[in-house]
Every structure is written in C-alpha cells, then in structure tokens.
C-alpha cells in the first residue's frame, strides 16, 4: 500500500464534476417540492408558471426525477470514486473507463431532461405504464444507468488490482462499503434495464402496440427497492467509516459494520413486492415472502443504529460527556458536517419506524398510496441520505477545491433548518395520510378535502417553505465556497475513522466475496424466479398507454 498516496488534482476535478451536476439537479428539482407543499396548503402557484410548466404533475415529475434519481446518482458516483481511491490508496486503474461512464451519464441526463421540460414525459419518477413518455425519456434514463455501470466497472477493476497486490489484507472499510454499493447496483438494476429495453422503449417507439403494466411494475420494483439502499449505503459509509473520526472517536466495531453491508447485499433485492401489496397479479404467498424478507433487511439498519451510536458515544465521552445522555451534548455540534449527519440519523429513526409500518402487509393496505408514503420517504431519501450528503459536502467541497468552507455557522444553521422543516413536513404528511389524504394529488384543487385535513395541510406548506430556505442555503454555501477567493488556511483531510479493534482481526469470512455473492443470487432466484416465470409466460401486451397531463 502506498501510504503517501494523495488523490491528484485531475481526480479531484473528476469527483467535483459529479458534485456539480448533483447540486445543480438538486437546485432545480427542489423548486418544485415546495410548490407542491404550498399547493397542499391552498396556495397554488402553478397557474403563474403556465408558459413554462404545464401542470402540478410536470412539477412533481421534475421534482422526483431530479432529486430522487439525479442528485443521488451523481453525488453517489462521485463519492464512491473518491472513497475507492482514498481507501485503497491508489488511483483508478482505468480512469478513461470512469470518464466515459460519467459522460454517458451526462448525455443520458440531457436526453431525459429535454422531454421532461417539454412536458413530454410527465409520468412521475416511477414512470408506471400505462402512463407513456416520449422515447427520449426512457433512452436517457437507460444511459444514466449504463453510465453508472461503466463507472462501477472502473471501480471494480481498481479494487481487483488492489486485491491482487494485497492478498489477505482486510479491504479498508470505506472502499469495502463502496464495492458492496457498486455490486448491489449492478445486480439490482437488471430489473429496470429489462423493463425499459424490452417493454417501455420499444413501446414508446411504436415498435410494439401495448404494454403489460403488471409485469412492468414487477421489473420496476426489482430495482426500485434496492435503489433505496443504493442511496442509503453511501451515507452509511460516511456514518461508519468517517463520522466517528469527525466526532472525535473510534468506530465501535469493524466486524458489525462489514456484516451490515453484506446483509444489505443479500437482502436488498428480493423484497420488491412490498411495493406491490395491492397488485392483483401477484399472489398473496409471494407478498408474504417479500414481507418477511423486508423484516430481515430492517436488521442491518438496527445494527447500524447500534454501532454508529456506540461509536458516537465513545466520541462524546472522550470529549468529557458523562451520564446516560450527557455525551450527546459534548459531540462537536458546531462542526456543520457532524451536525448535519447527526440530525440526518435522528430523522432516520422516525423514517425507520414508518418503513417497518409500510412493510406490514395488512397495515400497508391502510397507508398505501396515501400522503403517509411521501412522509416516509422524505425522512429516508430526503433526510438520512440527502442531509448526510449535505454534511459530507461540508468537508468534501473544501477538500476538492482547497477553499475554506463559506460561513460554517450558516452551514450548521442550514442543517437545523432542514431538520426542523422536515420534522414539520413529514409529521404532517404521515398524519394526513392516515386520515386518508391520497399521495400524488393536488389536494388544494380536490373538492373532497375535509376540514380536519386543513391544519395538517397548512403544516405541509410551512414545512415546505422552511425546506426551500434550507436547500437554497445549502446551494448558496456550495456556490460561495466554490467561487470563494479565500484559500483554506489548513489542509482539509478526508476523515477516516479508526476501528476500536484492528480490522486485521475481523474474521476473514467478512471480507470474502464468493459466499455472499452466491447467497445473493440464490435468494433472488428463490424470491423472484417463480413469479417472473409466471408473469413473463402470461405476458399480455394489451395496455395501449397514453398521457394524462
Ligand atoms: Fe422505504 C416506500 C419499507 C427504508 C425510500 N421507501 C418507499 C418509497 C421510497 C422509500 C422512495 O415495506 C416510495 C416509493 C414510491 O414512490 O412508491 N423502507 C421500508 C423499510 C425500510 C425502508 C422496512 N425507504 C427506506 C430507505 C429509503 C426508502 C432507507 C431511501 C433511502 N418503504 C417501505 C415500504 C414501502 C416503502 C414497504 C412501500 C409503501 C407503499 O405502500 O407504497 C427500512 O430499511 C428502514 C430501516 C431503518 C431503521 C432506522 C435505523 C436508524 C439509524 C439511525 C442512527 C442514528 C444516528 C444519529 C447515526 C431501522 C441507523 C445518532 C444521533 C445522535 C444525536 C446520538
Ligand atoms: Cu421498498
């Protein structure tokens, strides 16, 4: 291992390009979220945007695609490149492969954006058929996924090169987490790739007349569920392998961290039917099997809560904290990167609770397709993930640019604003969902809204307004840091947490791919194989499709 290794300026710029696209996507996509929240509270601004944006649904689609798909994918790919290089202390093995992958993603993004902006792809971020988009939308999404695969191959090749030279050595934890995220993505995106290439793209091009919404949904959720862990695992890489160092402590257990990552690899994919409990074409038995596996994938997050909080406790006590909870106060809350990630973790406790509620087959029937579900995913992808990524950016952008972070105190305030806005917003969404408010509906226009929803809908609007301020504060801090003329006085280091026990003592089976890969593939075949055979042999391409908005 090259102990002196430093990521070079060209590599830093390469990572930085990913972040630039990610933050731009977040900035544009986040305009529409609050517009929806205001609409719920009775202030519909969409008519004023008419020449540019045609409907609430065009805004909703832009919000979902840009925030949930583009911000995440670009941030994650950039971040994974960085942690692969930094952890393994070596440059990318075939940098051209990663560069080509990145540009394929960018071309895909532009190809997707054009029909989205022209209202030719108002199909929401799940693009369920029979809603039909312009073919360019599907082609663009395919290119984004293919580009992320190509970058993934570049990272896998880099890891294999390292492994060859370092047999028997434990993979540095951050690179280990990155490799699992990459492999999880390569396997799980096969569902969406099959859906688009064999069904949606030929259908939108007019090569086949109809489509089969049931089979398309099954392919979609084959990818759609593991997608949420593709978003989450990079945040976990930071919580396990970086945050303890930033907080002034050590990682409580290297073995538990690795076990959690392996469990995600094995358990993320074979449970997509928990998004399809109401689908008539999926038999009850399979829904129960996927429900049970969902309870299983809850476990590595519980492991994470335990291990990360124990590491933070170690940090808090080292800093003089005492008593049951006194150590929480002594954590470095003034460091914006730490504050953001702690608050992201707190919000995720609540997101985990709503997740396990979703997972219950019978309770799901009460909350499915209600505002509860966006309440849930704003605590997960928009908090655990997004607020952590914001926290990561607070050291990453100074690291990449060599500049001082612009107004760190404002960055701390930004994290709290996000936290408070999200608490108000997501609590109101959960409650109003339980009262029966549907999701994906401009409730301000709905004639059936009962009086008892109105207070909660107002809170949705207030939460949305706070989140709007918080997200733009983040964008401003990022921009001001990038364009600042103030060079950092101290060199920013990539935080790398030490484990309490030497990772070399972690059992070897926790750093060996073959058994886990075999288990992953076997479980996918068991949980999906029979249903895929039935649904594919009964394929009925008879839904003509169309556009609603
Ligand atoms: Fe989910 C729907 C079940 C996690 C995202 N989910 C969604 C949708 C999205 C989404 C986007 O079973 C909607 C899709 C659509 O448009 O239709 N979800 C779960 C379960 C979990 C879960 C069981 N979801 C996530 C994550 C997401 C995400 C993570 C994004 C990143 N979800 C469902 C189900 C549905 C669903 C059903 C379908 C609903 C329907 O009917 O449509 C679990 O993985 C959650 C486990 C989490 C925990 C929490 C652990 C807490 C930790 C915090 C540590 C604290 C720290 C801070 C570090 C067990 C790790 C300490 C701080 C101090 C101050 C000390
Ligand atoms: Cu899911």
Residues in the chain: 549
Give me the catalytic one of 163, 319, 440, 547. 440
Q: Is 459 a catalytic residue?
A: no
Ligand nearest to the CA of 271: 2
Q: What would the two tokens of residue 253 be?
A: 């257990």
Contact 260, 304 (CB under 8 A): yes
Residue 345 has pLDDT above 80, yes or no: yes
Stretch 277-301: mean pLDDT = 97
Residue 58 burial (CB count, 10 A): 22
pLDDT, one tens digit per residue, over 202-222 is: 999 999 999 999 999 999 999
The residue nearest atom 29 of ligand 1, judged by CA position, is: 380
Per the prediction, the chain carries an average pLDDT of 96
Q: What would the two tokens of residue 180 be?
A: 């699992």
pLDDT, one tens digit per residue, over 509-549 is: 999 999 999 999 999 999 999 999 999 999 999 999 999 98
Give me the pLDDT at residue 3, please: 65
Give me the pLDDT at residue 418, please: 98
Residue 4 burial (CB count, 10 A): 6
Contact 184, 100 (CB under 8 A): no
Instruction: Give the pocket of ligand 1 (CB within 6 Å).
Output: 126, 228, 231-232, 239, 274-275, 294, 297-298, 301-302, 304-305, 308-309, 312, 328, 342, 345-346, 348-349, 352, 355-356, 358-359, 364, 368, 373, 376-377, 380-381, 384-385
Question: How far is residue 58's CA from residue 344's CA, in Å, rounded to a whole number?
Answer: 29
Among the listed residues 456, 396, 407, 392, the one whose alpha carbon sits nearest the alpha carbon of residue 429: 456
pLDDT, one tens digit per residue, over 374-429 is: 999 999 999 999 999 999 999 999 999 999 999 999 999 999 999 999 999 999 99
Q: Is 329 a catalytic residue?
A: no
The residue nearest atom 16 of ligand 1, judged by CA position, is: 126
Q: Is 163 a catalytic residue?
A: no
Tell me the torsion sign for CA atoms 284, 289, 290, 295: positive
Among the listed residues 60, 24, 80, the one whose alpha carbon sits nearest the alpha carbon of residue 230: 80
Residue 170 has pLDDT above 80, yes or no: yes
Share of the chain above pLDDT 90, in %: 96
Return the axis-axis angle of helices 173-188 and 213-241, rounded to nearest 10°.
Answer: 180
Residue 254 has pLDDT above 80, yes or no: yes
**CA of residue 99 to ligand 1 center, whole Å:** 32
Stretch 67-76: mean pLDDT = 98
468 — pLDDT class (breaks 50, 70, 90): very high
> Which ranges constitute the DSSP H helices of 189-241?
190-194, 201-204, 213-241
Contact 531, 286 (CB under 8 A): yes
Ligand nearest to the CA of 314: 1
Stretch 367-371: mean pLDDT = 98
Give me the pLDDT at residue 284, please: 97
Would you kindly state where each structural domain of the chain is located, as residue ranges?
9-537
Give me the catalytic one of 40, 430, 439, 459. 439
Give me the pLDDT at residue 444, please: 86
**For residue 42, what are the CA distances in angstroms to 52, 135, 414, 511?**
21, 35, 26, 54
Question: How far is residue 337's CA from residue 328's CA, in Å, rounded to a whole number?
Answer: 16
**CA of residue 50 to ligand 1 center, whole Å:** 35
- 73 φ, ψ to 5°? -60, -45
Residues 270-299 as b/e (b if ≥16 CB within 10 A, e otherwise) read bbbbbbbbeeebbeeebbebbbebbeebee
Residue 104 has pLDDT above 70, yes or no: yes
Q: Which residue has the higher pLDDT, 242 or 446?
A: 242
Contact 73, 185 (CB under 8 A): no
Mutation test of ligand 1: which of 344, 380, 386 has the most ligand atoms closer than 8 Å to its C-beta? 380
Q: Is 376 a catalytic residue?
A: yes
Give me the pLDDT at residue 381, please: 98
> Which ranges constitute the DSSP H helices of 383-450?
386-401, 408-434
CATH class of 9-537: mainly alpha
Tell me the torsion sign for CA atoms 372, 378, 383, 389: positive
Give me the pLDDT at residue 2, please: 62
4 — pLDDT class (breaks 50, 70, 90): confident
The residue nearest atom 64 of ligand 1, judged by CA position, is: 342
Q: Is 378 a catalytic residue?
A: yes
Q: Is 90 a catalytic residue?
A: no
Q: Which residue(s) pair with 543 in the sheet?
A: 211
249 by DSSP, 3-state: which?
Answer: coil
Q: What would the two tokens of residue 182 be?
A: 């990459």
Q: What would the two tokens of residue 313 be?
A: 């406790």
**CA of residue 373 to ligand 1 center, whole Å:** 10
Residue 199 has pLDDT above 80, yes or no: yes
**CA of residue 276 to ligand 2 center, whole Å:** 10
Q: Is 225 a catalytic residue?
A: yes
Among the listed residues 228, 219, 208, the one whose alpha carbon sits nearest the alpha carbon of residue 279: 219
Question: How far is residue 273's CA from residue 226's CA, in Å, rounded to a whole number?
Answer: 12
Q: What would the two tokens of residue 283 be?
A: 């038999």
Among the listed residues 365, 184, 196, the one whose alpha carbon sits nearest the alpha carbon of residue 276: 365
Contact 206, 132 (CB under 8 A): no
Question: How far is residue 466's CA from residue 151's CA, in Å, rounded to a whole number?
Answer: 36
């Amino acid at each position: 291992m090259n102990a002196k290794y430093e990521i070079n300026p060209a590599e830093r710029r390469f990572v930085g390009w990913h972040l630039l696209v990610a933050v731009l996507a977040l900035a544009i996509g986040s305009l529409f979220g609050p517009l929806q929240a205001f609409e719920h509270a009775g202030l519909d601004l969409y008519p004023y945007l008419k020449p540019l944006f045609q409907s609430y649904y065009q805004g909703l689609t832009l919000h979902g695609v840009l925030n949930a798909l583009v911000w995440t994918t670009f941030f994650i790919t950039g971040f994974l490149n960085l942690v692969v290089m930094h952890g393994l202390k070596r440059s990318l093995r075939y940098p051209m492969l990663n560069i080509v992958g990145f540009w394929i993603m960018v071309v895909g993004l532009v190809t997707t954006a054009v029909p989205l902006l022209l209202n030719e792809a108002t199909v929401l971020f799940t693009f369920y058929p029979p809603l039909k988009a312009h073919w360019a939308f599907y082609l663009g999404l395919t290119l984004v996924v293919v580009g992320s695969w190509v970058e993934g191959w570049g990272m896998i090749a880099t890891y294999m090169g390292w492994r060859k030279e370092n047999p028997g050595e434990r993979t540095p934890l951050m690179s280990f987490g990155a490799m699992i995220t990459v492999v999880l993505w390569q396997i799980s995106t096969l569902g969406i790739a099959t859906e688009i290439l064999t069904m949606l793209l030929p259908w939108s091009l007019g090569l086949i007349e109809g489509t089969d919404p049931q089979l398309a949904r099954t392919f979609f959720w084959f990818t759609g569920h593991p997608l949420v862990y593709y978003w989450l695992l990079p945040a976990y890489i930071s919580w396990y392998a970086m945050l303890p160092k930033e907080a002034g402590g050590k990682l409580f257990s290297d073995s538990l961290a690795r076990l959690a990552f392996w469990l995600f690899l094995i358990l993320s994919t074979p449970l997509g039917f928990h998004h399809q409990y109401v689908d008539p074409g999926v038999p009850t038995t399979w829904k129960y099997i996927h429900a049970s596996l969902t309870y299983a994938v809850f476990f590595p997050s519980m492991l994470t809560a335990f291990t990360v909080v124990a590491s933070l406790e170690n940090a808090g006590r080292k800093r003089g904290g005492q008593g049951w909870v006194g150590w929480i106060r002594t954590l470095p809350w003034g460091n914006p990167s730490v504050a953001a990630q702690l608050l992201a973790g707190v919000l995720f406790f609540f997101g985990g609770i709503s997740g396990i509620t979703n997972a219950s087959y019978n309770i799901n029937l009460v909350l499915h397709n209600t505002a509860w579900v966006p309440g849930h995913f704003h605590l997960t992808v928009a908090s655990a993930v997004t607020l952590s990524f914001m926290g990561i950016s607070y050291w990453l952008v100074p690291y990449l640019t060599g500049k001082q972070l612009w107004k760190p105190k404002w960055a701390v305030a930004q994290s709290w604003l996000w936290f408070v806005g999200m608490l108000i917003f997501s609590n109101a969404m959960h409650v109003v969902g339980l009262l029966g408010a549907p999701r994906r509906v401009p409730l301000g226009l709905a004639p059936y809204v009962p009086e008892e929803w109105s207070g909660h809908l107002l809170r949705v609007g207030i939460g949305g307004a706070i989140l709007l301020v918080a997200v733009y504060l983040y964008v401003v801090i990022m921009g001001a840091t990038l364009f600042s003329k103030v060079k950092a006085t101290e060199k920013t280091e990539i935080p790398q947490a030490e484990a309490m026990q030497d990772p070399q003592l972690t059992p070897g089976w926790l750093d060996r791919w073959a058994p886990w890969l075999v288990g992953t593939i076997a479980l996918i075949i068991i949980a999906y194989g029979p249903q895929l055979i039935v649904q594919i042999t009964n394929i009925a391409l008879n839904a003509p499709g169309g556009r609603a908005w």
